[in-house]
């Protein structure tokens, strides 16, 4: 991935302050002399990015019996219905 053209560690607080003053995204972009889509993309990225303190929980394992050989096995996806041995033979 290519490094960012902008120093977002410095710009994010400025964007937040301008938005906190009630400015629209277009006005924020003009004030920072940036493209409007750049600001919109950054705000979208910040909404989607996981927070530093939040951890993703590992999915619970599901007990299954293979549809091919009926062997019992455990998986973390609800979509896997064949045991690893039968999947390797496919």
pLDDT more than 70, % of the chain: 93
Q: What's the domain count of the chain?
A: 2
Global pTM exceeds 0.75: no
Domain that holds residue 22: 8-48
pLDDT at residue 56 tops 80: no
Residues 12 and 35 in one domain: yes
**Residue 75: which of 57, 58, 63, 88 has the closest Cα?**
63
* pLDDT given for residue 52 in this prediction: 66
- Classify residue 1: in a domain, yes or no: no
Residues 15 and 44 in one domain: yes
Residues 80 and 62 in one domain: yes
- Classify residue 34: in a domain, yes or no: yes
Q: For residues 33 and 15, what is the distance between their CA atoms, to the nearest angstrom?
A: 12
* pLDDT given for residue 26 in this prediction: 96
Range of lowest pLDDT (24-28, 53-57, 60-64, 80-84): 53-57
- Classify residue 84: in a domain, yes or no: yes
- Classify residue 2: in a domain, yes or no: no
- Classify residue 53: in a domain, yes or no: no
Please give the average per-residue pLDDT across 68-80, as a whole number: 93
């Amino acid at each position: 991935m290519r490094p960012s053209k902008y120093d977002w560690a410095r710009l994010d607080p400025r964007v937040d302050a301008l938005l906190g003053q009630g400015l629209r995204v277009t006005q924020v972009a003009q004030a920072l002399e940036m493209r409007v889509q750049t600001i919109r993309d950054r705000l979208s990225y910040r909404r989607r990015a996981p927070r530093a303190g939040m951890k993703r929980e590992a999915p619970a394992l599901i007990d299954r019996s293979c549809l091919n050989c009926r062997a019992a096995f455990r998986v973390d996806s609800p979509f896997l219905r064949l045991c690893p041995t039968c999947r390797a033979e496919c």
